[in-house]
Structure 1
Amino acid sequence: MLLFFCVPTHKGFSQTPNVSNTSLSFWGGYSFSSVRFLGKTENSQTQILGIGIQKPLKKYYGNKLLWYTADLIPYIHFTYPKRDENNRIVSRKGFGLSPIGFTLMNSSQKLFTTFVRTTGGMIFMESNFPTDDARKLNFTFDITLGANFRFNSFGMISFGYKFHHISNAETGTENPGLDSNFLFLKLSIQ
């Protein structure tokens, strides 16, 4: 479990964050159970770790800022019932990249702000996933709702919910897919 301890200073809150710079983030998430929505694989537990970058693209009226977002996923792990083995519980690991993403957030000086984000990419699994007739290479997209807690002029902690879909996009013989509901924690620095 990730824990971050930060001591804010009064000076840190009065400074203007530099929204013209690239932001680097480290994040992790856990999904207690998958759901049957777009994917057909239920009862999966998932862990994920990511390293991300964000670069501001455009400022909108009302202090809204659109960011380009990309993530490197060095680790993702699924524990799930494999349906072509009579629902035997198996474990599979992988890594990936989400090079296309966008985040919309408030660029104000508030201590607490909200954001919405989406990314898309690919995950390469250690073996065909989630069935033997699927593929090692899978595609992903996610939708994230979260909140930022700014603890000084160059850093913030974020937390929230991420819906994450993974499937082979009908490129395998089977495409059962899997939908995870992540709770995540993220540390960002500018």
Structure 2
Amino acid sequence: MRKFSTDFFRVAGFFTIVAALTLTIFAQDFSGEQKINSTDGSVAGAVQNDDTFDKKNGFSVWGGFAPDIPRVFGGSRRSTFGEIGLRYSRRIATTENLAIKYQIDLIPVAVINYRRQRLLQLSPTTFIFDRDRTTAYAAGLTPVSFQLNFRRRNKIQPFITAEAGLLVFNKSIPDDRSPLLPNQRGRQFNFTLAGGGGVEFLTESARSYTVGFKFHHISNASTGNINPGFDQNLFYFGYTFKKF
């Protein structure tokens, strides 16, 4: 229960900070916008076709891969991770320079390969940790995702993002069971938390390409017998093929 509370407050704190920063940036930009309403100058790199950046909805496909991970949260497990996502996004608020999007991702496939460690007894007085690697597959959903785009009337738009979701694996992760510790495993159902940023490149045909990075965390929130968590440095590429 203590670990669950820690995870809950970590998630709540993360989104509180993101929300506060977003509102601060938005308020400053809106204030500045009131002072510059009469200016007509064009910005280098601006998209000339208003229809390109005024469409509110979009469908995208994206994929990400994390080749290595640092131990950011305590005893988190090292792993390799990859996923593919299908996204619907809707712009929910704008100023002259900023845009906030709500996004929902369907994750049809995700793969994690991690090192497990099982305690084995070789003799009455000899114990060892047997370490090997195993792979698990998952599908999931990210229903809470927000993206803040800067320079929203330009072809090149930096952005920051924050999201929370879930993944259901084909087996419990991690799984460190052994004859000595038969219950040493996590859960198939896991929560995800991510935050990061990147750049969105718009085209004249109302499509866009996205390159980004996000820190990605997987946890069962202590609903399993063990919950070391998995941290990933996820690099991803996306293509928005439909805007309307």
Unaligned runs of at least 5 residues, structure 1: 1-12
Residues of 2 paired with 1:109 and 1:65: CA distance? 9
TM-score by length of 2: 0.68
1:180 aligns with 2:232: yes
Partner of 2:210: 158
Q: Are residue 43 (structure 1) and residue 43 (structure 2) matched?
A: no
| Partner SS, residue 152 of structure 1 | coil
* 1:131-142 alignment, distance < 5 Å: 131-132=175-176, 133-142=185-194
Structure 2 equivalent of residue 5 of structure 1: none
- 2:112 maps to 78
Match of 1:64 among 79, 83, 98: 98
What letter is aligned with 1:181? N
CA distance in 2, matches of 1:72, 1:39: 29
In structure 2, C-alpha distance between the alignment counterparts of 1:65 and 1:109, rounded to whole Å: 9
Tell me whether 1:112 sits opposite 2:156 in the alignment.
yes
Question: Structure 2 matches for 1:90-129, cutoff 5 A?
Answer: 90-106=134-150, 108-129=152-173
Q: Name the % identity.
A: 27
The 5 A counterparts of 1:5-44 are: 13-16=47-50, 17-38=52-73, 40-44=75-79
Post-superposition, which runs of at least 4 consecutive aligned residues in structure 1 deviate over 2 A?
Answer: 18-21, 38-43, 83-87, 106-109
User: How far 1:20 moved relative to its partner?
Assistant: 4.1
Any idea what SS the aligned residue of 2:175 has? coil
Q: How many residues were matched structurally?
A: 178
CA RMSD between the two structures: 1.9
Q: Normalising to structure 1: TM-score of the pair?
A: 0.86
- Give the whole-Å Cα distance in 1 for the aligned partners of 2:152 and 2:223: 44
Using the alignment, how far apart are the partners of 2:101 and 2:78 within structure 1?
Answer: 34
User: What secondary structure is seen at the aligned counterpart in 2 of 1:83?
Assistant: strand
Decide whether the 8 Å contact of 1:137 with 1:168 is kept in 2: yes
Residues 39, 169 of structure 1: CA spacing in aligned structure 2 closer, same or farther, 3 A cutoff?
farther
Do the aligned partners of residues 114 and 69 (structure 1) sit closer, same or farther apart at CA in structure 2, a change above 3 Å counting? same
More helix by share: 2
Letter in 2 for 1:43: R
User: Which protein shows a greater Rg?
Assistant: 2
What CA distance in whole angstroms lies between the structure 2 residues aligned with 1:20 and 1:111? 14
Could you report, residue by residue, the CA deviation over 1:30-62 in whole angstroms, capped at 9, with x for unpaired residues? 1111221126344311111001111111113x4
Is the 1:15–1:153 Cα contact (8 Å) retained in structure 2? no
What secondary structure, in the 3-state scheme, does the structure 2 residue paired with 1:37 have? coil
Higher RCO (C-alpha under 8 Å, 6+ residues apart): 1
Bigger Cα displacement from structure 2, 83-92 vs 156-165: 83-92
